[in-house]
Amino acid sequence: MPGWRTDVTVEGRVVRVRARRGGGWRVRLTETGGALAAAEIRPSNPVPLPPVGALIVLRGEIRYDDEHGWYVVDPLEEWLDARASSSARPDRVQ
């Protein structure tokens, strides 16, 4: 049976970027309007780390994190500065 995948786009402010044991990074967001607030950057798909305090739009696959009991964007595929361009707004992402 083929697997399925659900991609999401979330906007929020970066409150923390932490290294993960075993490699990679976890990005935590606030001001998401109640939406998802965590994303994982995997060592196999390194992307630049977003600066703490930045308002960003992130994109990636959503999955449930059994360890923490929440949904997370994992892996994070990309992030954009939300103020850099109006095309970065989640309601305009294709």
Residues 6 or more apart whose Cβ sits within 8 Å of residue 24: 40, 41, 42, 43
Q: Please tell me which residue, 53 or 67, carries the higher pLDDT value.
A: 53
CB 75 within 8 A of CB 63: no
Residue 83 has pLDDT above 90, yes or no: no
Among 42, 43, 48, which residue's Cα sits nearest to residue 75? 42
Residue-averaged pLDDT of the chain: 84
> Where are the domains positioned within the chain?
7-84
For 93, residues 6+ apart whose C-beta sits below 8 A from its C-beta are 9, 57, 59, 87
pLDDT number for residue 66: 87
At 79 the pLDDT is 95
What dotted CATH number matches 7-84?
2.40.50.140
Mean local confidence (pLDDT), 74-85: 88
pTM assigned to the model: 0.78
